[in-house]
Amino acid sequence: MRPRAFAACFCLLLAAVPLAPPAARAQHQQRLQLDEELRFPAGRDTVSLPFENHGEHLLIHVSVNGGAPLLMVFDTGMPSPGVLLYEGALVEKLKLTYSPARIRVGGAGGEGARQARLATGVTLRVGALEVGGSVAIVMPATPQMSGLHDGIIGASLFQHLVVSLDHDRGVLTLTRRDAFTPPADAAGVPLRIEGRSAYVPVKLVGADGVATPLEAILDLGATHAISLNRRSSPAIVAPPGARAARIGRGMSGVSTGMVGRIPALELGGHRLANVVATFPDTAFEDPRGLDSRSGNLGGGVLGRFNVALDHGGSRMFVTPNQRFSNPFEWDMSGLQTEITDAGEIRVAAILPDSPAAEAGISPGELVVAVDGEKPVPRTLLRTRERFREPGRELSLTLRRDGRERVVRLTLRRLV
């Protein structure tokens, strides 16, 4: 008989309210033991369900305690079993049972972390798979995250099962490990599992054609192609023409660095050319305090393969998909936005010498419409795909202090 229950450990910072100082909090750090029971339909070892790709965010529907399906990011960067949810009306309807403890979520070493509640005895449903004995971490809503999706799920799936992502069909398949057979045409790639992280070998190809082996953290929740840590290797340098910019946003806030094109990147023996890479400033090289080694491999690369992740077997399998040869692109407007507490889209920063700068757009203006359509947080990442087409003309309706104006941008490559 196959075991139906899996033991998983995860480390959370527990504290009474009010929270103790950092030194005292460390003394209360505990290791929680969680037994999750995975229940497949009778006689089956695999289930499949659709996923959506919103700007390299992979979204699936997950039901919590029998409630209406919630749209959640599938993220290997979510190391804890269970789901992460955001406070609000949707969560209130779930009637969760909370532990008296409080936990800290996000931030490196507690910096930038937020206080959250832990609900136990939770049952999840992912397609036809039921996960019993799970938990929900409920944190305060932040518009930059809760505006895009309802929650995050990760370890409950990838720690116990083989997770296959077919980007050509938009299908995610969950398979018991002992029932999985690798695709015949797939290249096997070893994973090194260390604590709560998986590291994958890649090769950085320089302008001289020399391929330098690197090791990057595997992060399906990151929308970039690859983020490279300059302090980790002399082979990693920001290329000529790289631009300083905001390069990401997570639980700990905005991260900054450089954006530029590297000649090529190799994964599983497959070479991707002219890849847009980010080079975070030193303070942002290891998000959430994790050791990213040489960098962070994200959805911009992984989305060009059909991927099977087998964390338990310390391996993954990759097969180039229909998007493999598509050119890598980055924002071509110079317009960087953020979501306000009111759910509006606000200009956060403007890149110098960009179409947005030339059009006189300035931080603080609200983006009311893009080509006549109102942008909304839930589909913002998809809307931003329009900003990556060279030569495209965009019409933007902007508002400041109650006054609206329309500007037109002709997009061009900035990196």
271 C-beta neighbours (distance < 10 Å), count: 13
Please give the domain boundaries of the chain with CATH numbers for all domains: 5-176 (2.40.70.10), 182-291 (2.40.70.10), 335-410 (2.30.42.10)
Please tell me the distance from the alpha carbon of residue 57 to that of residue 77, in angstroms, as a whole number.
Answer: 12
Burial grade of 251 (CB within 10 A; 0-12, 13-18, 19 or more): middle
Q: Are 214 and 201 a contacting pair, CB within 8 Å?
A: yes
Please tell me the distance from the alpha carbon of residue 27 to that of residue 372, in angstroms, as a whole number.
Answer: 55
Backbone angles phi, psi at 342, to 5 degrees: -85, 0
Please tell me the distance from the alpha carbon of residue 12 to that of residue 306, in angstroms, as a whole number.
Answer: 33
List Cβ neighbours of 46 (8 Å cut-off, separation of 6 or more).
Answer: 40, 173, 174, 175, 176, 179
Strands (E), 65-210: 70-74, 83-86, 97-105, 114-126, 129-139, 151-153, 161-166, 171-176, 187-190, 192-194, 197-205
Please tell me the distance from the alpha carbon of residue 397 to that of residue 387, in angstroms, as a whole number.
Answer: 15
Nearest CA to 119 among 96, 151, 90, 102? 96
Terminal-to-terminal C-alpha distance of the chain: 55
Burial grade of 161 (CB within 10 A; 0-12, 13-18, 19 or more): buried
> What token pair was written down for 181?
């057979």
Please tell me the distance from the alpha carbon of residue 142 to that of residue 124, in angstroms, as a whole number.
Answer: 23
- Give how far Cα 207 sits from Cα of 77, 204, 224, 261, 274, Å: 31, 10, 21, 11, 10
Backbone angles phi, psi at 94, to 5 degrees: -80, -15
pLDDT at 289 (0 to 100): 56
Please tell me the distance from the alpha carbon of residue 386 to that of residue 203, in angstroms, as a whole number.
Answer: 30
Burial grade of 14 (CB within 10 A; 0-12, 13-18, 19 or more): middle
Residue type, 145: M
pLDDT at 223 (0 to 100): 92
DSSP annotation string for 127-169: TTEEEEEEEEEEE---HHHHTT-SEEE-HHHHTTEEEEEETTT
The pTM of the full predicted model, rounded to 2 decimals, is: 0.88
Burial grade of 360 (CB within 10 A; 0-12, 13-18, 19 or more): exposed
Please tell me the distance from the alpha carbon of residue 106 to that of residue 387, in angstroms, as a whole number.
Answer: 30
Q: Are 218 and 202 a contacting pair, CB within 8 Å?
A: no
Beta bridge partners of 31: 11
Please give the chain's pLDDT, 415 residues, in tens.
343 433 333 333 333 232 333 332 233 334 445 789 999 999 999 999 999 999 999 999 999 999 999 999 999 988 889 999 999 999 999 989 999 888 877 654 444 577 899 999 999 999 999 999 999 999 999 888 888 899 999 999 998 899 999 999 999 999 999 999 999 999 999 999 987 789 999 999 999 999 999 999 999 999 999 999 999 999 999 999 999 998 877 655 788 999 999 999 999 999 999 999 999 998 888 765 566 789 999 999 999 999 999 999 999 999 999 999 999 999 999 999 999 989 999 999 999 999 999 999 999 999 999 999 999 888 888 899 999 999 999 999 999 999 999 999 999 999 9
pLDDT at 291 (0 to 100): 67
Beta bridge partners of 250: 253
Please tell me the distance from the alpha carbon of residue 164 to that of residue 319, in angstroms, as a whole number.
Answer: 11
